[in-house]
Amino acid sequence: MALNLVMLGPPGAGKGTQAKAVAAARGIPHISTGDMLREAVAAGTPIGLRAGAVMASGQLVSDEIIVGVVRERLAKPDAQAGFVLDGFPRTVPQAEALDAIVAGRDPLVVVDIAAADEELIRRLTSRRVCSRCGANADVAATLRQAQGRSEPGRGTPGEAVPAECGTCGGALTERADDREEVIRERLRVYARDTRPLIDYYRRRPTFRSVNGAQVPSAVARDLEAAVNAAAAGA
């Protein structure tokens, strides 16, 4: 059975990190909305050209365009044996379109990584990005190494944030969208637009929810169990 996995979760829940790990472990593509758009634009497909024009104008990409990009990406040979979708769908109409796209394939497995808003705000306000290589800095991992801790965590309020990227030594900076007031607005938008997806998927036997407030290793363990249980119940 192919694993066709949709990862849901609010900003800061860690779904991107976990999605990449699941995809790597299973040998299937990790597909994010950003990746799909960039690939379509670079390939110069009709949908990609439309998406590129919209993004160049500073406008949001419409459901029609993003659904077309997803359809093109999931039709590629590497996605026939399974995939992990990260960042799509974001709305119920997109979810309905995805159901039509994957009709005839093995059922979608949907996992929601849940965490309280205050935990998400704490995580995101401590996140940093490297100004040189662009990598997201694992601030918590750097702090653990400095303090001799081995268990993965997320840092605690008041801990000093490292100044340099552990990969290339570049200066770490705060992302513009990781300011608290911006984060709270992103979470409000998520609650309004994306949480209804949970109600859309909840009644399916292939839906599971995982506690994202745990340390990453525990989330990964529970996610693996949830995916296996959902796939078995398909």
Active site residues: 15, 90, 127, 175, 186
Name the residue type at position 231.
Answer: A
Contact 92, 64 (CB under 8 A): no
Q: Which residues have a Cβ under 8 Å from the Cβ of 44 and sit 6 or more positions away? A: none
| Burial class (CB within 10 angstroms; exposed 0-12, middle 13-18, buried 19+) of 108 | buried
Q: Helix/strand/coil (H, E, C) string of 31-68?
A: EEHHHHHHHHHHHCCHHHHHHHHHHHCCCCCCHHHHHH
Q: Both tokens of residue 175?
A: 């992302």
